[in-house]
Amino acid sequence: MTDLFDGIERGGREPMGEGAALLRGFALAFEDEVLAGLDAVVAQAPFRHMVTPGGYTMSVAMTNCGAAGWVTDRSGYRYDANDPLTGRPWPEMPEAFRTLARAAAAEAGYPDFTPDACLINRYEPGARLSLHQDRNERDFANPIVSVSLGLPATFQFGGLQRSDPVRRYALRHGDVAVWGGPSRLAFHGVTALKEGMHPRLGRMRINLTFRGAL
């Protein structure tokens, strides 16, 4: 059986659908500054396992930076200007984050994107994210920019209905997925992370998801 990661070329651009592209290795040029920014954010707003409205504790640990942070609890999904754990505003978005997000969006055909929110997900082996849409933002005109760091993962990207066929993409450290326009509300998710060890991030995968939330 062919491994999903076989034959992947770094630096390539791979279409995922209309208005959606996978930029192979695009974030590697920003790696040091982005990882330093990540450490600074997590020092102020630690990762936590949020609870869904249905009472399910998510296997993926999360935190945020920027003008608003995505949160979930028994009362619902939403964006909030303050970290519910501390009552303080979320950490400011590092400039390296913003620069990477804008550059990737422009490369994928969205030159006017300026993110105001970044959801940071931490996956450890076994963690997964079921198929879902990003639809808590006020304006769907902005794309989603999703940066993969650390362990490799399998990304699922479908259509506008949950029942639509799903394509699978192997994501490696430095890959950036961007989707907007006709694909903005595409269902997507990540299968259970496999065991492994990344030379810089260890036994985890970090995903930075940039959005125009406000």
Distance CA 50, CA 71 (A): 7
pTM: 0.94
Domains and CATH numbers, the chain: 13-211 (2.60.120.590)
pLDDT over 70 (residue 8): no
Provide the percentage of residues in the chain whose pLDDT is more than 90. 93
pLDDT over 50 (residue 53): yes
pLDDT for position 7 = 45
What's phi and psi for 53, nearest 5 deg? Answer: -55, -25
CB atoms within 10 A of CB 79: 21
CA 118 to the chain's CA centroid: 8
- Which of 193, 204, 203, 145 is CA-nearest to residue 170? 193
